A and B are shown apart, each in its own frame.
Chain A
């Protein structure tokens, strides 16, 4: 069995910051793991600018990783299958196998997952062409996929707006449907509404989905039918904490970043990661 002082699950902004902070404070045994090949987490699929001064996701990641200490352990392409109360985690990955790692402190930096359409009170069929917004962002920006228009996006929060902008820039007709009386995202993300031909329909939501095999359209609760071939669900995020399900807040567990609470700004995520890294190291030092 392998051992580390601090195990960090998730190498997005929070995990990277936590690893650097713990290492910088003096911890020599930090292990950072992620299910993807590269560090950066969701930042890697963010083609839009708006991180740090005015960087896109990959650029901001590069900045976070400048002079990243080589002595921080890094294992890509692994899934943490479970974490147990006796401070052990089981890791699984291609070419890596399944390994048990014991630790003193655990930092969870697993981010969020998106709410799928099935969780919403939306009636109708379940045709092809319905995605979550982040899923489409990954498909477009990491795999070059281009969806068919017209596109309807449910939810005008930041992710919904970012996707609306990118899709409209691709030349697709985009309609945002927002349950609240006004657009939900940050002001800077709302700019696309005036700069691009994006429709915004507020104070309504989707009632029903149509289409047998492929998506044909949606109906809003106020009875408007919008034909569309792609529907993106951008109604919100849920902290991804499933791997610690059943553990009752042990004192060796630290949550940071979006798995702790959803942060609109990456800087807040980074700061929380730093604090978690230092707190974890303080716990170890205090017990020495």
Chain B
């Protein structure tokens, strides 16, 4: 059995950043991930927004972490060489009801310390962003809102965690957890792992992982969301656009991504039996809402649709032989600490990406204090992005060369999708129709060691 001071369960952006932050301290750590690669769950499908922080209740953990997380994002992305675009956002309204919401958010934002926030008139918003529909009644401009590619950030953090000594355990399923005198034993399908601290960042399975050892306290009740991606050549707004609809939860968000595409979403809807499946209702909603808010967006340029699963944490109570949700979804970040040395992030939704590093810093500090670990002097925060490039272009649409793909494979990409998440191949207008086969062959060759 292997022994580690700390074990992170789950290799999404939260788990990867938690693992990286653990390595800032003098301790040994392992990251356990069920899939064959990191960042294949919720990290793979969300709005990619780094929020300014005006949405959250003043004084709440979420508000504090969001404002701080947002402020630190440039430095985080610079050290990890991940593209980050602080493009700013315009939250727009088209009527008195939504105007009131915007004013409230403005006040909220000011009190929370969001910098540069201002309320502007419809005409001024139109001048700033000519793609907006006329009829905007009020807009909230937040220059600090930005966008990052969430899986690029997660993978970069993972690489840096490994670089600093964290051990990866991919394709490893956690089957059970039990107490020892001074810690925990995690049973997996690949043997047992002994540790003093467990950081449960298991995303959609976080409640189940905690329940492997503790009685249910918080459970996830998921809803679904759909997204659309447009071709790079399609006209797109330069700001992130949030529509504050007269009807709550019925606005569209449009994000000009760091990769150069326009991302539309999310549509909010109940989750049916098939998670990760897009719905007609959701996609239709996105098209209709976008046509209203950004009439210049050419919806014939959609190249991909995908769905997300969004976990809403609820406290549960035992009643009539079952655990049932107690009231409404927990508004704050739900950080459970059911026993010393055991921490669970359960249902970290918006603005989870913005706060991912803050949460990781927090968990790592708690861990270090608990273990009495000092700072690791040799911690190297820097991670280099993939710069190797040659002249043999494999992905025509995104102009990704063979050397980049080989480097992605060398860094752990095990599938065509893994390569895609590392270098962006197959993300263009043909959606991998012309390069998937060649990338499959390169993966195969690498596996057999004939490269």
Contact = CB atoms under 8 A, between A and B. Distances in A.
A121 B283 contact: yes
A134 interface: yes
- Counting chain B CB atoms within 10 Å of each CB, the highest count among A81, A119, A126, A134 belongs to A119
A210 B233 CA distance: 31
A95 B31 CA distance: 41
A207 interface: yes
B392 A93 contact: yes
B274 interface: yes
Interface in B124-139: none
A96 B392 CA distance: 9
Given A118-B302, A118-B305, A123-B283, A113 B278 contact: no
Contact of A116 (B283, B391, B396, B430): B430
A203 interface: no
Interface in B239-293: 274, 276-280, 283-284
A139 interface: yes
A-side interface mostly: mixed
Contacts, number: 88
A264 interface: no
A223 interface: no
B280 A123 contact: yes
A97 B436 contact: no
B391 A96 contact: yes
Contacts of B276: 125-126, 212
B399 interface: yes
Interface string B36-51: 0000000000000000
A94 interface: yes
Given A119-B302, A125-B277, A207-B280, A77 B437 contact: no
B222 interface: no
B48 to A, nearest CB: 17
B394 to A, nearest CB: 9
B235 interface: no
A196 to B, nearest CB: 26
A126 B402 CA distance: 26
A138 B284 CA distance: 34
B430 A79 contact: no
Nearest to B230: A119
A265 interface: no
Contact of B277 (A93, A96, A124): A124
A207 B393 CA distance: 35
Nearest to A210: B274
A170 interface: no
B430 A94 contact: no
Contacts of B397: 242
A154 to B, nearest CB: 14
A94 B402 CA distance: 9
Interface string B118-154: 0000000000000000000000000000000000000
A139 B437 contact: yes
Interface string A205-229: 0011110100000000000000000
B434 interface: yes
B437 A143 contact: yes
B393 A118 contact: no
Contacts of B306: 118, 126
Contacts of B401: 92
Given A118-B229, A123-B280, A134 B433 contact: yes
B391 A93 contact: yes
A51 interface: no
Given A79-B399, A113-B430, A97 B391 contact: yes
B433 A79 contact: no
B391 A242 contact: no
B390 interface: yes
Contacts of B434: 113, 135
B233 A116 contact: no
> Residue among A96, A113, A114, A143 with the most chain B CB within 10 A?
A113
Nearest to B428: A242
A35 interface: yes
Given A118-B304, A123-B283, A138 B233 contact: no
Contacts of A113: 429-430, 433-434
Contacts of A121: 280, 283-284
B277 A131 contact: no
Contacts of A119: 302-304
Interface of B: 229, 233, 274, 276-280, 283-284, 302-307, 390-393, 396-397, 399, 401-402, 429-434, 436-437
Given A81-B393, A93-B391, 6 more contacts: A77-B392, A94-B391, A125-B307, A126-B306, A138-B437, A207-B280
29 contacts: A35-B393, A35-B396, A79-B396, A79-B399, A92-B401, A93-B392, A97-B391, A113-B429, A113-B430, A114-B433, A118-B304, A118-B306, A119-B303, A121-B283, A123-B283, A124-B274, A124-B278, A125-B276, A125-B277, A126-B276, A126-B306, A132-B433, A138-B437, A207-B280, A208-B280, A210-B274, A242-B233, A242-B397, A242-B429
Q: A-B pairs with the 5 shortest C-beta distances?
A: A118-B304, A94-B392, A116-B431, A79-B393, A135-B433
